[in-house]
């Protein structure tokens, strides 16, 4: 957390840009509130923020809030007392309650951060926006496609600030990667392969059986979209962000192949999104093997990016050093007269492609979450909605839910026109 705090002071410097430059803001207009002149203008002001949901994710967000001198945490809300108590330990001066309506009814609250189970997002966010509050909502936006559209329309109708925590929008590595892609460094991006693998049952300990669904809500379809809405929504965003278009068709498959413990959501999923001219993006997640971990492999005809690693690779690597070339030539001379069965043998050519760091150094901060929270605080002070944040969150959720629908219905899904908004 300390590294994150240090780096947040120099957010735009991590990108190699001068704060507030026209080029930066034209490419990433949602960063407008983070420009130096905007941040100076809000110096001395505070946003009064409530956190609704103080489970693991809510407390993670709360840690960033209490480090921000422009934020005052005025309420903590959770209907599970052990989690509320853990929240109190982070923000002891905040008032606490179990009913979110008590927070919404307080005129002294400027904005709310919602980190509750997915199926409650629309109810709480909708009530908050109707009550004049600015809203930061954990992804995914909502449990169903109609609820997702309603939530977005409520934001547009009320005009209040609305953030969805798609933290890659504020991650310097991802922002720099997109800037490099748009410059043409990697040619035409033909495919995006994304995956998020873990090895664990995704289960929290339950002190009493009647609390099973409350604590392990992610395992049950009534409350959760499983791996698609909890993990896939992060990575599926890459398609709209890079290509600036929506897929035409979605295919998917999945099942409960290992963790047969009463859960209802899949522990093994794979979805393919196909775009015009044959471009495609895939998302895969298996939670019984973590070897390959988490990554997006963005592939152009001139090179590849792996933002989670923080590296890029060109297709043509530099020539190997002269000495190694000489050694390889000697080896070829020695072995060229030896007959081997099977494929032709070729010695190691000693030119592995180790890549280069996207921002010139190894990632030394957690991810973009802290920057996203900071941007919300700035927006809650000014009341200005940064462009594209709500729309990116909307489509990340819609595409996740369409992938889930393709898995559950075992059929090809065409993108439904009724869920297209005025964005792409």
The pLDDT value given to residue 11: 58
Measure the CA–CA gap between 294 and 309, rounded to whole angstroms: 9
**For the segment 61-94, what is each residue's pLDDT rounded down to a tens digit?**
999 999 999 999 999 999 999 999 999 999 999 9
Measure the CA–CA gap between 191 and 197, rounded to whole angstroms: 20
Measure the CA–CA gap between 257 and 260, rounded to whole angstroms: 7
Q: Helices in 283-356 by DSSP H: which ranges? A: 322-335
The band of 33, judged by pLDDT with boundaries at 50, 70 and 90, is confident
% of the chain at pLDDT higher than 90: 79
Measure the CA–CA gap between 110 and 49, rounded to whole angstroms: 6
The pLDDT value given to residue 352: 74
Which residues, in sequence order, are CB contacts of 250 under 8 Å at separation 6+? 271, 272, 273, 274, 399, 402, 403, 405, 406, 412, 413, 414, 415
Q: What crossing angle do the helices spanning 81-90 and 56-67 adopt, rounded to 10°?
A: 20
CA angle 39, 42, 44 (to 5 degrees): 125
At 238, which helix (H) or strand (E)?
helix 233-243
Query: Which strands, in side-by-side order, build the sheet including 47-52?
Result: 95-97, 71-77, 47-52, 111-114, 134-137, 162-164
Tell me the whole-structure pTM to 2 decimals: 0.90
Measure the CA–CA gap between 94 and 368, rounded to whole angstroms: 25
The pLDDT value given to residue 249: 98
Structural tokens at position 260? 């047969």
Residue 75 phi/psi, 5-degree rounding, is -140, 145
**For the segment 343-371, what is each residue's pLDDT rounded down to a tens digit?**
444 444 445 788 999 988 887 766 889 99
Measure the CA–CA gap between 11 and 4, rounded to whole angstroms: 10
Report the chain's C-alpha Rg in angstroms: 24
Whether 316 has a pLDDT exceeding 90, the answer reads no
% of the chain at pLDDT higher than 70: 86
Measure the CA–CA gap between 97 and 114, rounded to whole angstroms: 14
Measure the CA–CA gap between 84 and 215, rounded to whole angstroms: 13
The pLDDT value given to residue 4: 46
At 409, which helix (H) or strand (E)?
helix 389-409
The pLDDT value given to residue 47: 98
**For the segment 160-205, what is each residue's pLDDT rounded down to a tens digit?**
999 999 999 999 899 999 999 999 999 999 999 999 999 999 999 9
Q: Which long-range contacts (CB under 8 A, 24 or more apart) does 411-417 make?
A: 412/249, 412/250, 412/251, 413/249, 413/250, 413/251, 413/252, 414/248, 414/249, 414/250, 415/246, 415/247, 415/248, 415/249, 415/250, 416/145
* Count of H-run helices and E-run strands, the chain: 16, 15
The band of 123, judged by pLDDT with boundaries at 50, 70 and 90, is very high
Region of residue 375 (phi > 0: left; psi between -120 and 50: alpha; otherwise: beta): alpha
Nearest in space to 125 (alpha carbons), one of 215, 53, 216: 53
Mean pLDDT of 196-220: 97
Measure the CA–CA gap between 313 and 241, rounded to whole angstroms: 20
Measure the CA–CA gap between 113 and 165, rounded to whole angstroms: 10
Residue 18 phi/psi, 5-degree rounding, is -85, 135
Measure the CA–CA gap between 343 and 410, rounded to whole angstroms: 41
**8 A C-beta contact, residue 182 and residue 27:** yes
Measure the CA–CA gap between 133 and 376, rounded to whole angstroms: 12
Pairing of strands 162-164, 134-137: parallel
């Amino acid at each position: 957390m300390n590294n994150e705090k240090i780096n947040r002071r120099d957010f735009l410097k991590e990108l190699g840009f001068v704060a507030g430059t026209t080029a930066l803001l034209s490419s990433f207009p949602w960063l407008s509130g983070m420009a130096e002149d905007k941040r100076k203008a809000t110096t001395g002001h505070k946003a009064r923020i409530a956190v609704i949901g103080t489970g693991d994710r809510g407390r993670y967000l709360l840690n960033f809030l209490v480090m921000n001198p422009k934020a005052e945490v005025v309420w903590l809300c959770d209907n599970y007392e052990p989690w509320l108590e853990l929240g109190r330990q982070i923000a002891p001066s905040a008032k606490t309650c179990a009913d979110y309506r008590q927070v919404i009814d307080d005129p002294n609250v400027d904005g709310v951060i919602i980190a509750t189970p997915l199926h409650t997002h629309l109810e709480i966010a909708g009530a908050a926006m109707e009550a004049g509050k600015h809203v930061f909502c954990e992804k995914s936006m909502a449990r169903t496609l109609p609820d997702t559209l309603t939530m977005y329309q409520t934001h547009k109708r009320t005009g209040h600030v609305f953030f969805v925590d798609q933290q890659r929008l504020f991650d310097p590595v991802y922002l720099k990667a997109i800037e490099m892609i748009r410059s043409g460094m990697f040619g035409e991006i033909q495919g995006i392969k994304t995956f998020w693998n873990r090895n664990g049952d995704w289960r929290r300990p339950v002190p009493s059986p009647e609390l099973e669904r409350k604590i392990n809500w992610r395992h049950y379809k009534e409350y959760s979209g499983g791996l698609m809405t909890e993990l896939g929504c992060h990575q599926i965003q890459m398609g709209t962000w890079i290509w600036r278009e929506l897929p035409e068709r979605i295919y998917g498959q999945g099942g409960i192949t290992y963790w047969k413990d009463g859960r209802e959501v899949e522990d093994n999923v794979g979805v393919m999104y196909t775009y015009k001219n044959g471009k495609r993006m895939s998302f895969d997640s298996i939670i019984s093997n973590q070897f390959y971990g988490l990554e997006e492999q963005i592939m152009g005809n001139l090179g590849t990016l792996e933002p989670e690693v923080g590296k890029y690779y060109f297709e043509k690597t530099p020539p190997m050093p002269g000495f190694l070339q000489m050694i390889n030539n000697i080896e070829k001379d020695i072995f060229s007269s030896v007959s081997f069965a099977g494929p032709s043998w070729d010695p190691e050519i000693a030119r592995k492609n180790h890549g280069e760091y996207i921002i010139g150094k190894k990632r030394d901060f957690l991810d973009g979450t802290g920057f996203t929270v900071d941007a919300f605080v700035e927006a809650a002070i000014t009341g200005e909605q940064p462009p594209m944040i709500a729309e990116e969150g909307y489509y990340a959720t819609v595409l996740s839910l369409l992938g889930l629908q393709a898995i559950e219905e075992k059929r090809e899904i065409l993108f439904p026109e009724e869920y297209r908004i005025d964005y792409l």
